[in-house]
A and B are shown apart, each in its own frame.
Chain A
């Protein structure tokens, strides 16, 4: 007989990241899960306490079935959308020093770069040649690149590539530009939108709880400010997406607090198009020693499903195949996700952290089809614009057709 490691206590499970099915099958737990499940199936909103209960008590299939119910109620047709896009990171120079980021370089450090315009244009041309509809453009918080640099870039790109939407500048970058410019973010946004900014990505949210942010990203935009910037984006008439990076120092209750903040802002503005979440990728990041072991995939799947159940005012939930892999992404389509995100023809930020799960379009469509869904291409506003399926074309054709509720209010005011 082998020397066995000490068995963990059968009652307290410090390492248990998922509840046992057998404990969800009887007694008070079964009744409470049944009550919350009935609420979800009736299309009613659940409370943060109920979300926490689901996470702590519901087994995988129970969570999956509820998430799938919500997903099919919102999207009765068996469609899964994605957008042909690429990542373009104009600079990796950053002064925010997040310990979980393997992408950034300090100013003047080895490997620090600002892409020359010709390089940006040539990458955009490749995207245009492939029929791309969006470029996801984000980068480091460069100490000298103010909003006028971005405005000039956007004006140039819009003139050259009018068919490609500029999905650019996450909330922390907009906040950074506001500080560099020494003027309110509303003013920065007004100029960027005039120059061609079309929608705003949801990055930099990490966990929207100050206790967590002070540990993992002390120099980054605060929770309140991240939400404030998105509020201003929505009031300015643009849609944005929302994200969550988890699996590090946060608790489950803090994840749910994060989701609550997003849900509340969405009630207020109606400006979020979609939500995506992913597990932190700790390999090779600057402060690797601060982070726990990489969480296993089931932990991600449970949160992905819970987000679909909880974010009842979000139309779309995006899977995260770049971090979770194509196989897991396919499964998430039965756990609440209705969108595959972008084709990410380049992904510096994540691949630098040891993630090479980039899938060509055909492979992506194959897994969507095998899961029982029709893959459809979309635009940045989640309008279906698939040349193969003109009869399925629907939804907004442009940002102008997709103004958030908060925009009308702001205009009136």
Chain B
């Protein structure tokens, strides 16, 4: 890129930001400086979607150019038994309640077997938290998956589940992680973080682990050599200040461990939960959440627009507002569909590729650890190599 053009573009970005009161923030973004708490609040408060989006897009293109990642994955929600009683959840059941289930390891294996004809590279396995499930069960379901499809990557057990698994095992988490790894665990998903604010936790999910505990477990996960994702549940009763604080705490842990691969804002879906009176985030709120994630989390390589939650049009558009990943083909999603998500539960690989093309990006299939599996532009993103990131 010629210097003159780069300057003209940056001048235009600065002009746009200044016109909407974001000039100082834009200068920091262009200088690659870390944004402050107050910067985050200002970005949340700005009514101008394009100004916020263009800043985030600038960072996104600096890191990833036009590349946009997806994977071919399947979900297994092994049980909906849960004792956390989170008010925003429509998935949880207590034993004896209609629809309550727990899969046997053989049933988990059947789910994997059913997709053997598909080029699935990852199984995403998360569920409710139930203390009576024996420790051996968790090892058994990991082994069941691997026995059917040895090469598949298992991304399983949120920090909340890991907390319970260690308690059930009556062993230190470090030891439990080694045993789970030996049974096939490949990485850890980012769910269960919700909002780290104690105020919100007390009001909506007081039985779940606190923000400090979530971060402490994530630290141990990363120290054990596993990568994880991280999330934030937004669009319920949390404030912008609490969101910025949440993102800042993720950023600080990432400075320490470097273990987070991807940040995923999770849109609250109110239907069928105890909080059905809360309207939930709209499309522009979701795009702003993507943009804020990209702008504040300067040390996390990837930002994911999880299409299952956002819906296809907004996930496509999010690729111009800071996101560089749209998740995967997702077979059998239950947690958000029980909460009223109306998106399809599965999408064909070819469809994902087409959405990304239509959004003006270059589709790249990745595995869970961001190695390139297939690339629409093998020169920019060579197959078999780690995804290029200019971070």
Whether A and B are associated in the same complex: the answer reads: yes
Give A contacts to B, CB under 8 Å: 1-5, 7-8, 10, 13, 15-22, 25-27, 30-31, 34, 59-61, 64-65, 68, 78, 293, 295-299, 301, 324-325, 327-328, 330-331, 334, 366-367, 370-372
Q: Which residues of A contact B287 (CB under 8 A)?
A: 331
Chain B residues near A20: list those with CB within 8 A.
Answer: 66, 360-362
Query: Residue-by-residue, is B293-322 near A (CB-CB < 8 Å gives 1, otherwise 0)?
Result: 000000000000000000111101100100
A24: min CB distance to chain B, Å: 9
Which of B50-58, B207-215, B218-226 is near enough to bind chain A? B50-58
> Is A330 touching B283 in the complex (CB atoms < 8 A)?
yes
Which residues of chain A are within 8 angstroms of B314 by Cβ–Cβ distance? 327-328, 331
Taking the complex as formed, is B285 at the interface, i.e. its CB lies under 8 A from any CB of chain A?
yes
The 8 Å CB contact of A26, one of B5, B357, B373, is B5
Contacts A2-B119, A27-B2, A61-B53; A19 near B376 (Cβ below 8 A)? no
Tell yes or no: B205 within 8 A of A by CB.
Answer: no
Q: Across the interface, name the chain B residue whose C-beta is closest to A22.
A: B66
Stretch at the interface among B83-91, B142-150, B378-386: B378-386
Cβ of B284 within 8 Å of any chain A Cβ, yes or no, is: yes
CB-nearest residue of chain B to A327: B283
Task: Find chain B residues with CB under 8 A from A7 CB.
Answer: 374-378
Interface string of B350-391 (1 = CB under 8 A from A): 100011011111100100000001111111000110000000
Closest A residue by C-beta to B8:
A34
The docked-state distance in angstroms from the alpha carbon of A80 to that of B250 is 38
Q: Which of A8, A21, A64, A295 contacts B66 (CB 8 A)?
A: A21
| Neighbour of B360 across the interface among A2, A15, A18, A324, CB < 8 A | A18
Closest Cβ of chain B to A331, distance in Å, is 5
Whether A334 contacts B49 by the Cβ 8 Å rule is yes
| Contact present for A367 and B378 (CB under 8 Å) | no
Chain A CB within 10 Å — which of B50, B57, B65 has the most?
B50
Minimum C-beta distance from A27 to chain B (A): 7
Q: Which 6 A-B pairs have the closest CB atoms?
A: A297-B313, A18-B360, A4-B374, A2-B119, A372-B47, A327-B283
**B320 touches which one: A60, A297, A330 (CB < 8 A)?**
A60
Residues of the B chain whose Cβ atoms lie less than 8 Å from the Cβ of A2:
72, 119, 121, 365, 373-374
Q: B334: shortest Cβ distance to chain A, in Å?
A: 22
Q: Which residue of A lies closest to B315 (CB)?
A: A297
B54 and A65 contacting across the interface, CB-CB below 8 Å? yes
Q: Is the CB of A325 within 8 A of B311?
A: yes
Q: Report yes or no: A298 in contact with B313, Cβ–Cβ below 8 A.
A: yes
Closest to B377 in A: A10
Q: Is the CB of A30 within 8 A of B5?
A: yes
Q: Assess whether B49 is in contact with A19, with CB atoms less than 8 Å apart.
A: no
Residues of B within 8 A of A372 (CB): 47-49, 284
Q: How far is the CA of A328 from the CA of B318 in the complex (A)?
A: 12
Complex Cα spacing A19 to B66, Å: 10
Residues of B within 8 Å of A21, CB to CB, are 57, 61, 66, 320, 360-361
**Interface hits, B312-362 → A, CB 8 Å:** 312-314, 316-317, 320, 350, 354-355, 357-362
Q: In this complex, what residue of B is CB-closest to A295?
A: B358
Contact A325 B284 (CB under 8 A): no
B35-84 contacts to A, CB under 8 A, are 47-50, 53-54, 57, 61, 65-66, 72
Cross-chain contact B354 with A331 (CB below 8 angstroms): no
Q: For the complex, give the distance between the alpha carbons of A36 and B279 in Å.
A: 41
Pick the residue among B284, B357, B359 that contacts A60 (CB under 8 A). Answer: B359
User: Does A330 contact B282, Cβ atoms closer than 8 Å?
Assistant: yes
A26 touches B284 (CB 8 A): no
Provide the residues of chain A in CB contact with B203, threshold 8 Å: none
Q: Which residues of the other chain, A, contact B66 by a CB distance below 8 angstroms?
A: 20-22
**Shortest beta-carbon distance from A10 to chain B in Å:** 5
Give A166 to B376 CA distance when docked, in angstroms: 52
Q: Is B98 in the interface zone, CB < 8 Å from A?
A: no
B167 CB-CB contact with A under 8 Å? no
Q: Verify B313–A328 contact, CB threshold 8 A.
A: yes
Minimal beta-carbon separation of A332 from chain B (angstroms): 10
> Which residue on chain B has the smallest CB distance to residue A2?
B119
Look across to chain B and name the residue whose beta carbon is closest to the beta carbon of A368.
B282
Q: Check if B365 sits within 8 Å of A19, measured CB to CB.
A: no
Question: B1–A26 contact, CB under 8 A?
Answer: yes
Whether the pair A25, B9 counts as a contact (CB closer than 8 A) is: yes
A298 touches B379 (CB 8 A): no
Verify B1–A61 contact, CB threshold 8 A: no
A83 smallest CB distance to B (angstroms) = 22
Minimum CB–CB distance from A3 to chain B (whole Å) comes to 7
A-B contact pairs, 26 of them (CB 8 A): A4-B374, A4-B383, A7-B376, A7-B377, A17-B357, A18-B359, A19-B360, A22-B65, A26-B6, A27-B5, A30-B8, A59-B320, A60-B320, A61-B57, A295-B358, A296-B316, A298-B313, A298-B316, A301-B313, A324-B313, A327-B313, A331-B287, A331-B314, A366-B279, A366-B282, A372-B49
Question: Which of A17, A18, A334 makes the CB contact (< 8 A) with B50?
Answer: A334
Count chain B CB atoms within 10 A of each CB in A27, A61, A295, A371 and give the residue with the most: A61
* Residue of B with least CB distance to A293: B354
Do B373 and A17 have beta carbons less than 8 Å apart? no
Does B357 contact A13, Cβ atoms closer than 8 Å?
yes
Query: Cβ of B57 and Cβ of A10 under 8 Å apart?
Result: no
Given known pairs A15-B354, A372-B47, the reply for A331 and B9 (CB within 8 Å) is: no
Most buried by A among B72, B121, B360: B360
**B264 lies within 8 A of chain A by Cβ:** no
Nearest opposing residue in chain A for B1, CB measure: A26
Nearest B-chain residue to A300, judged by Cβ: B313
Determine the chain B residues whose CB is within 8 A of the CB of A325 once the complex forms.
311, 313
Q: How far is the CA of A371 from the CA of B287 in the complex (A)?
A: 11
Contact A26–B358 (Cβ < 8 Å): no
**Docked complex Cα distance between A330 and B377 (Å):** 33
Q: Are A61 and B358 in contact (CB under 8 A)?
A: no
Contact A367/B283 with A22-B65, A65-B54, A296-B312 known, Cβ cut-off 8 Å:
yes
